[in-house]
């Protein structure tokens, strides 16, 4: 099931894509002197720099690619540790592994984001990067994380893949750390099917990220380069059709966020009004969140399990590759001595919180996040009221 942007596709996207089809230029590289070449990808990058408040942006083929390019830009490779929360999509972890780095998993707190206190305890001499994940559109505790990074001389990569449009204390997510990565996947705030964006204020990080995403080429080349490359790279380029669709969606971003916040506030108001003592709401670190989901945390994990089952959904702990316990890819990894690097229940606080939590959809209707029950961006007040009352009725029935 899609994210909010996918529900709102209309003539804006069709117009942008049609311009590319009529031009005949499908690659981001075209004849700059030809007025038919619309430079959709470069335009998208420029718009992102303004929205996020940074100087540089690189459009790539997906969110995973955006994370990989960001990691390479920061110098992650063999022998380098990256701190990542145990509740995140598997791509955050696999991107580090793919370039030879070592993910070090941290506990989460009641915001379902990285716990700053725990992460500081896991820093070693090999640690170079902290990767806070703004999970489910809720900003991580960036003041604490940035203070630790400054004190310990570490770099910060913001994983904003689920948080485009969110802010923390007035600053757009992606602009707070050294570099940020966004996703335009079908399940995200806005979409182009698959796509990603790297943002940074650093020219050096931009050049490395760009080079990695385009076979080592220098930024804004006009054709095939002969001679030295900035770095070794691969092909993560975004094409013009994808960039065009994303531009159409980007025009709707502010409207989408406003609608989601209003609908979530209404949904939460009804549920909170029931005065259910057996549950609370996830801690929101800043009102600038995306409001894509409403997360409830029960006092008892069995109550959460029974409520989830009755609603034909599941607890957050059971939401597939978003929880380290369910990532068979990393659980199978061993060091050169055969010792398991990651194992189930290695993060007891994370396990406890997620086993007691249920995600109710507001904008992102994704069973992969455990959000198999709730509303969407098109839901009217009657549907919001109906879903909220159904949830309340179910919780009360289980609590008897």
Residue 315 has pLDDT above 90, yes or no: yes
- pLDDT bin (cut points 50, 70, 90) of residue 338 is confident
Residue 114 β-bridge partners: 108
- pLDDT bin (cut points 50, 70, 90) of residue 226 is low
- pLDDT bin (cut points 50, 70, 90) of residue 40 is very high
Residue 223 has pLDDT above 70, yes or no: no
Whole-number Å distance between alpha carbons of 189 and 170: 19
Residue 1 has pLDDT above 90, yes or no: no
Residue 218 has pLDDT above 70, yes or no: yes
Q: Which residues of 354-374 are buried (b: 16+ CB within 10 A; e: fewer)?
A: bbbbbbbbbbbbbbebbbbbb
CATH of 4-250, one of 3.40.50.920, 3.30.1360.200, 3.40.640.10, 1.10.580.10: 3.40.640.10
Q: Quick one: average pLDDT of 228-252?
A: 93
In this structure, CATH architecture of domain 253-315+356-399: Alpha-Beta Complex (3.90)
Q: Quick one: average pLDDT of 208-234?
A: 79
Answer with the residue of higher pLDDT: 370 or 277: 277
Whole-number Å distance between alpha carbons of 134 and 140: 5
Which tokens in the block code for residue 266?
């209404």
Residue 224 has pLDDT above 80, yes or no: no
Beta strands 155-159; 179-183: pairing state: parallel
Q: What pTM does this model have?
A: 0.96
Residue 221 has pLDDT above 70, yes or no: no
Cβ–Cβ < 8 Å for 232, 206:
no
- pLDDT bin (cut points 50, 70, 90) of residue 367 is confident
Domain spans, the chain: 4-250, 253-315+356-399
| Mean of the per-residue pLDDT values of the chain | 95
pLDDT tens profile 81-127 = 999 999 999 999 999 999 999 999 999 999 999 999 999 999 999 99
Residue 340 β-bridge partners: 334
Q: Report the candidate in 287, 248, 59, 62 with the shortest Cα–Cα distance to residue 165.
A: 287
Whole-number Å distance between alpha carbons of 80 and 358: 35
Q: Quick one: average pLDDT of 369-391?
A: 96
Q: Is 53 left (phi over 0), alpha (psi -120 to 50) or beta?
A: left
């Amino acid at each position: 099931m899609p994210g909010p942007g996918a529900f709102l596709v209309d003539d804006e996207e069709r117009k942008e894509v049609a311009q590319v089809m009529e031009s005949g230029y499908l690659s981001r590289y075209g004849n700059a002197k030809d007025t038919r070449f619309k430079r959709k990808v470069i335009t998208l990058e420029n718009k992102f720099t303004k929205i996020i408040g940074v100087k540089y942006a690189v459009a790539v083929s997906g969110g995973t690619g955006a994370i990989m390019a960001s990691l390479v830009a920061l110098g992650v490779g063999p022998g380098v540790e990256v701190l990542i929360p145990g509740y995140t999509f598997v791509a955050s972890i696999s991107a580090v592994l793919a370039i030879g780095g070592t993910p070090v998993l941290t506990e989460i707190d009641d915001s379902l984001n990285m716990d700053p206190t725990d992460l500081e305890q896991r820093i070693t001499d090999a640690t170079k990067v902290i990767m806070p994940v703004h999970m489910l559109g809720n900003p991580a505790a960036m003041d604490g994380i940035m203070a630790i990074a400054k004190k310990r001389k570490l770099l910060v990569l913001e994983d904003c893949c689920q948080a485009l449009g969110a802010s923390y204390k007035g600053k757009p997510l992606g602009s707070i750390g050294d570099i940020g990565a966004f996703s335009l996947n079908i399940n995200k705030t806005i979409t182009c099917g698959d796509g990603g964006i790297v943002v940074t204020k650093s020219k050096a990080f931009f050049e490395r990220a760009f080079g990695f995403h385009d076979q080592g080429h220098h930024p804004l080349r006009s054709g095939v380069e002969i001679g030295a490359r900035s770095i070794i790279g691969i092909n993560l380029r975004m094409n013009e059709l994808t960039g065009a669709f994303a531009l159409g969606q980007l025009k709707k971003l502010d409207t989408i966020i406003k609608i989601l916040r209003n609908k979530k506030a209404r949904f939460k108001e009804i549920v909170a009004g029931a005065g259910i003592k057996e549950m609370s709401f996830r801690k929101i670190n800043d009102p600038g969140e995306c409001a894509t989901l409403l997360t409830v945390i029960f006092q008892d994990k069995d109550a959460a399990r029974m409520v989830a089952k009755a609603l034909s959904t599941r607890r957050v702990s059971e939401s597939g590759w978003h929880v380290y316990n369910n990532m068979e890819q990393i659980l199978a990894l061993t060091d050169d001595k055969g010792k398991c690097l990651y194992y189930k229940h290695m993060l007891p606080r994370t396990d406890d919180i997620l086993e007691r939590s249920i995600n109710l959809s507001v904008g992102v209707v994704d069973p992969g996040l455990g959000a198999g029950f709730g509303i969407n961006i098109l839901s009217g007040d009657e549907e919001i009221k109906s879903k909220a009352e159904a949830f309340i009725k179910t919780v009360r029935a289980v609590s008897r």
